[in-house]
Amino acid sequence: MDLNNMMGNQYAHGIKKFTWEILKERYAAQEQAVERISRAIMTARDYEEVAKLFLAVYESGYFEAVQQHKEILKSHGLEVNVTHGEVPPNPNAAKIFKS
């Protein structure tokens, strides 16, 4: 861990933690790329835009997977309707940001 970089760039740790929360066990394979990306995040706007990008990619993958599963189930004669709603917060979940 580059302590000087982390101290000089207040957003680097947040980007790394945010990415770890999404990738979990896959994080290690992406750590070098995340490190390089986090060094480029220098402003609050950069931080917010990168977070939005990561979430858009994550969400896109999720909806694509749901659609593929719906098609597979339909080919077996099952029709499903997947909806989303507010999910109650898990008090035991690791927090990305402290409030």
Mean predicted confidence (pLDDT) in 72-79: 92
Q: Is residue 94 predicted with pLDDT exceeding 80? A: no
Q: Is residue 19 predicted with pLDDT exceeding 70? A: yes
Handedness of CA 42, 48, 50, 54 (dihedral sign): positive
User: 19-25: which pairs have CB atoms within 8 A and are 24 or more residues apart?
Assistant: 19/54, 21/94, 21/96, 22/54, 22/58
Share the mean pLDDT of the chain: 84
How far is it, in rounded angstroms, from Cα 46 to Cα 99?
A: 21
